[in-house]
Amino acid sequence: AIAGPVREALRGLDAALDAAASFDPAEATREFRIGVRLSGEMPRFSSLVARVRREAPHVALASVTFRRRDLVMMLASGDLDLALDVALPADDRLQRHYLGTEPIVVVARKGHPRVDGAIDLDTYLALEHIIATSRPYGPGIEDIALDRMGLARRVAVRCQHAITAWQIVATSDMLFSLPRSHAEVLDAMWPMQLVDLPLPVEQGGSYLYWHQAAQADPGLGWLRTIIADELAQSA
């Protein structure tokens, strides 16, 4: 019963000690542990590493997976310093910063017989699709948007990772939809057609989270600024 409050009190003590010390990025040797969902690591973490290493060459960074139900506990205990995720239910113990949203694009192979630089809704619905998600069931945000319109697409393949979906698209006429930043990372390695999604979707955007006890930590304040600058997405 007291484990949670004790964790938060200790986190507050650590943060107070850190706040009492100065933080010099050029000299710091601290390790920062950032909670990142698997689907978000690929487009975000590499650019963040490059930026941090330029300003703080001796700092260590760790990308750590987490379950959403454990997020508050992990931030309170110091198992995570910060976390990146979608909009989560409000919690007085957490602070957050909105990073924005980004458009969804549709990926098709080069030389696709029905996609040449653009796609309309009729063609989108006529072709087969891939979903990449760790969830074994459930619709994608495109399916939710289509359902509101009284429409549906055919999902022929469900896989767990965007790289797998990208490989399937490369050797088929199926389509795959994903955020633009994800697509641009993969497209740099294996070029495809990236075209606008031909329907409106509602996205909640992404947020940066940290525990309120760490609000005054100068090292985390520096890293939060870096993340907000490097990962902020245009709405």
Q: Is the pLDDT of residue 1 over 90?
A: no
Q: Examine the domain organization and report whether 43 and 122 are in the same domain.
A: no
d(CA 79, CA 69): 14
CATH of the domain at 156: 3.40.190.10
DSSP assigned state of 27:
T
In terms of Cβ atoms closer than 10 Å to its own Cβ (0-12, 13-18, 19+), residue 136 is: exposed
Number of independent structural domains in the chain: 2
Please give the model's pTM, rounded to 2 decimal places: 0.80
Q: Examine the domain organization and report whether 21 and 48 are in the same domain.
A: yes
Tell me the Ramachandran region of residue 227: left when phi exceeds 0, alpha when psi lies from -120 to 50, beta otherwise.
alpha
pLDDT of residue 208: 96
Q: Are strands 31-36 and 82-86 parallel, antiparallel or unpaired?
A: parallel
When pLDDT is averaged across residues 199-215 and rounded to a whole number, the result is 90
Question: How much of the chain, in percent, has pLDDT values that exceed 70?
Answer: 90
Give the ranges where the chain is alpha helix by DSSP (H).
3-20, 38-55, 71-77, 121-126, 141-148, 162-170, 180-189, 218-231
pLDDT of residue 57: 97
Q: Examine the domain organization and report whether 97 and 213 are in the same domain.
A: yes
pLDDT of residue 220: 94
Q: Is the pLDDT of residue 100 over 50?
A: yes
pLDDT of residue 59: 97
Q: What angle do CA 18, 59, 214 make, to 5 degrees?
A: 30
Q: Examine the domain organization and report whether 96 and 208 are in the same domain.
A: yes
Quickly state the pLDDT bin for 13 (edges 50, 70, 90): low
When pLDDT is averaged across residues 55-77 and rounded to a whole number, the result is 95
When pLDDT is averaged across residues 102-110 and rounded to a whole number, the result is 95
Q: Identify which has the larger pLDDT, 4 or 135.
A: 135
Q: Examine the domain organization and report whether 133 and 171 are in the same domain.
A: yes
Domain interval for residue 163: 104-196
Q: Identify which has the larger pLDDT, 136 or 21.
A: 136
Q: Is the pLDDT of residue 5 over 70?
A: no
Q: Is the pLDDT of residue 8 over 70?
A: no
d(CA 41, CA 195): 23
pLDDT of residue 43: 76
Q: Is the pLDDT of residue 35 over 90?
A: yes
Find out whether 200 and 89 touch, Cβ atoms under 8 Å.
no
Q: Examine the domain organization and report whether 95 and 7 are in the same domain.
A: yes
Across 5-14, 39-48, 106-115, 199-208, least confident range: 5-14
Q: Is the pLDDT of residue 210 over 90?
A: yes
Q: Examine the domain organization and report whether 212 and 97 are in the same domain.
A: yes
